[in-house]
Amino acid sequence: MNIEKFQESMYKLIVETSTNLPKDVRRAIKAAAERENAGTRSAMSLDTIKNNIKMADDNVSPICQDTGLPTFKIKTPVGANQIEMKKAIYNAIAQATKDGKLRPNSVDSLTGENSGDNLGGGTPVIKFEQWEKDHIDARLILKGGGCENKNIQYSLPAELEGLGRAGRDLDGIRKCIMHSVYQAQGQGCSAGFIGVGIGGDRSSGYDLAKEQLFRTVDDVNPHPELRDLEEYVMENANKLGIGTMGFGGETTLLGCKVGVMNRIPASFYVSVAYNCWAYRRLGVAVNPESGEIQEWMYQEGEKIDFAQPAAQEIAAAVEAPVEQNVVTLTAPITEEQIRELKVGDVVRIDGMMYTGRDAIHKYLSDHDSPVDLNGQVIYHCGPVMLKDEEGNWHVKAAGPTTSIREEPYQGDIMKKFGIRAVIGKGGMGAKTLASLKEHGGVYLNAIGGAAQYYADCIKSVEGVDLMNFGIPEAMWHLNVEGFTAVVTMDSHGNSLHEEVEKSSLEKLAQFADRVYK
């Protein structure tokens, strides 16, 4: 094989997967946007998502800043040199990281040290299989941490919140799948897709679930009982009212694919792999001699390009006849300004904000801050950054990360430094909510995955601290304009996340009765 060409082909596969959402996923998002009621928070989020997809196309930049753990599934003809292919994939991954198409995401599990090039023990994941065809089938999925953390595995029989006993039968499986959508809420950047694996052991069950994510959104399951189950879930999960980003709304789930394998009599697992709307998976057929791409996969049907100017559409969405109040804030923000905000208000931020993820939160809880954070805004974000030849930093992708990870620290840090607003996704818990009330703070939910839209709002990078934590974890000083997010936790003890969780649990309970006899 021409291994240099193969490396080039893998590089193209990585870049396309990170920047160009597949056609079937685009159609599912378009259909969801059409179902959503105009002027709602979910409709506004979907508008932002559509714009973001278009901006990623235009800029050939990552759709979401979290480019996940690259996972390749490769089928090779007998005789293909998998050792050489693996080396070529490693080189392609390192190059794509250097070019800002992937975020450096591989960290030492014990020290937290970032390898800087997405290579390290276990990363990327490459699974080879031999087959009897004469071409190479190479598929890639980039699945971010926010949705990966919402994967769930059930061991039947089980007692499920809202649904009661789930037994070792099709009805028990149905309950597990419904519950999996409920427990994800908006934290996996809903509206999402689920792959379900029935059977196997703990690891092969999850593999089977992830395997389902390589199916096309609009295929039809050849297994009649699984097809019925998929249809049932699609119809009913959307009645839970969780909506895009967990803001409430008509569409919670965009796709459900179920596979089955044998198990041993003692175990009965139902494994669910949750994927966010930024469902980045593509594939290529490669010639095993030339190493060149023969064909791209997932290319059937119409391609929606969401071609509307970003600024206009965002402005239209924000200015539509919505029930929300739109408030512009510039740091330093006073306690009085914060106390005026209520859940549901839309906030547009101009001026400075500082990124902070897990490492920064832990650091700030034990040390002084490198900058004065009094009245300031913290953004839960691990951006994709590139340095130009003059040494200036540029933001390539900068959407919010999952906030709940900072729950142990957030309230204390806000009080310690006088921080007034935190921005992230998925909401935070009771401890933070109590601190927001006591201190006068607010939690703003940005649109998860809208990494291009938010990167566009960042007008300059004013500095960076704590680079020793690596690019995604450093504290970036960002000057923004028109950075839009929704108040989902206010200083009066209200949390939209709590409300949606409670109402979706009530709705879930309506599905407790046996459906499959």
Number of residues that bind ligand SF4 (CB under 6 A): 14
d(C-alpha 43, C-alpha 480), whole Å: 24
Give alpha helix (H) positions in 320-460. Answer: 335-339, 358-366, 407-417, 430-439, 451-457
Q: What is the DSSP letter of 400?
A: -
**Contacting range for ligand SF4; rule: CB under 6 A; set: 24-32, 73-81, 139-147, 336-344:** 139-147
- Tell the smallest beta-carbon distance from residue 63 to ligand SF4 (Å): 8
- Tell the smallest beta-carbon distance from residue 146 to ligand SF4 (Å): 3
d(C-alpha 16, C-alpha 281), whole Å: 9
Q: Mapping DSSP to helix (H, G, I), strand (E, B) and coil, where does residue 29 land?
A: helix
CA proximity to 229, closest of 262, 198, 264, 203: 198
Task: State which residue, 273 or 333, has the beta carbon closest to ligand SF4.
Answer: 273
Number of other residues whose CB lies within 10 A of the CB of residue 351: 18
| Token code pair at residue 22 | 């597949």
Bin 164: left if φ > 0, else alpha if -120 < ψ < 50, else beta.
left
Site membership for ligand SF4, residue 162 (CB under 6 A): no
Task: State which residue, 91 or 445, has the beta carbon closest to ligand SF4.
Answer: 445
Site membership for ligand SF4, residue 186 (CB under 6 A): no
**Contacting range for ligand SF4; rule: CB under 6 A; set: 143-151, 214-222, 319-327, 471-479:** 143-151
In the complex, residue closest to ligand SF4 by CB: 144
User: Phi and psi (nearest 5°) for 355?
Assistant: -80, 150
What is the number of alpha carbons within 13 Å of residue 291 lying toward its C-beta?
18
* Among 70, 104, 124, 144, contact with ligand SF4 (rule: CB under 6 A): 144
- Tell the smallest beta-carbon distance from residue 30 to ligand SF4 (Å): 17
CA proximity to 245, closest of 401, 2, 445, 26: 445
Site membership for ligand SF4, residue 70 (CB under 6 A): no
- Tell the smallest beta-carbon distance from residue 511 to ligand SF4 (Å): 25
The answer to whether the beta carbons of residues 32 and 244 sit under 8 Å apart is: yes
The answer to whether the beta carbons of residues 72 and 129 sit under 8 Å apart is: no
Amino acid in the structure at residue 60: V
- Tell the smallest beta-carbon distance from residue 486 to ligand SF4 (Å): 16
- Tell the smallest beta-carbon distance from residue 226 to ligand SF4 (Å): 26
Number of other residues whose CB lies within 10 A of the CB of residue 469: 21
- Tell the smallest beta-carbon distance from residue 62 to ligand SF4 (Å): 9
Interacting positions 98-137 with ligand SF4 (CB under 6 A): none
Site string for ligand SF4, 199-238 (x = CB under 6 A): ----------------------------------------
Contacts (Cβ under 8 Å, ≥6 apart) of 406: 356, 357, 358, 361, 380, 422, 424, 428
Site membership for ligand SF4, residue 146 (CB under 6 A): yes
Task: State which residue, 7 or 484, has the beta carbon closest to ligand SF4.
Answer: 484
- Tell the smallest beta-carbon distance from residue 275 to ligand SF4 (Å): 8
* Among 188, 243, 288, 351, contact with ligand SF4 (rule: CB under 6 A): 188
Interacting positions 269-288 with ligand SF4 (CB under 6 A): 276, 278
DSSP 255-302: EEEEEE----TT--EEEEEEE-S--EEEEEEE-TTT--EEEESS--SP
d(C-alpha 127, C-alpha 86), whole Å: 10
* Among 197, 199, 448, 470, contact with ligand SF4 (rule: CB under 6 A): 448
* Among 1, 147, 217, 272, contact with ligand SF4 (rule: CB under 6 A): 147
Bin 462: left if φ > 0, else alpha if -120 < ψ < 50, else beta.
alpha
* Among 25, 189, 209, 419, contact with ligand SF4 (rule: CB under 6 A): 189
Task: State which residue, 13 or 276, has the beta carbon closest to ligand SF4.
Answer: 276
d(C-alpha 237, C-alpha 221), whole Å: 18
- Tell the smallest beta-carbon distance from residue 144 to ligand SF4 (Å): 2
- Tell the smallest beta-carbon distance from residue 194 to ligand SF4 (Å): 13
The angle formed by the CA atoms of residues 12, 16 and 20, to the nearest 5 degrees, is: 165
- Tell the smallest beta-carbon distance from residue 278 to ligand SF4 (Å): 4
**Would the CA dihedral through 383, 384, 388, 391 be positive or negative?**
positive
CA proximity to 326, closest of 454, 448, 486, 447: 486
Site membership for ligand SF4, residue 424 (CB under 6 A): no
463 DSSP β-pair partners: 477
* Among 70, 197, 399, 441, contact with ligand SF4 (rule: CB under 6 A): 399
**Contacting range for ligand SF4; rule: CB under 6 A; set: 3-11, 53-61, 63-71, 202-210:** 63-71
Site membership for ligand SF4, residue 196 (CB under 6 A): no
* Among 8, 16, 47, 66, contact with ligand SF4 (rule: CB under 6 A): 66
Task: State which residue, 163 or 278, has the beta carbon closest to ligand SF4.
Answer: 278
Task: State which residue, 189 or 436, has the beta carbon closest to ligand SF4.
Answer: 189
Site membership for ligand SF4, residue 426 (CB under 6 A): no
**Contacting range for ligand SF4; rule: CB under 6 A; set: 82-90, 142-150, 357-365, 487-495:** 142-150
Task: Give per-residue burial for 264-274: e unless 16+ CB within 10 Å, then b.
Answer: eeeebbbbbbb
The residues binding ligand SF4 (CB under 6 A) are 64, 66, 68, 144-147, 188-189, 276, 278, 399, 448-449
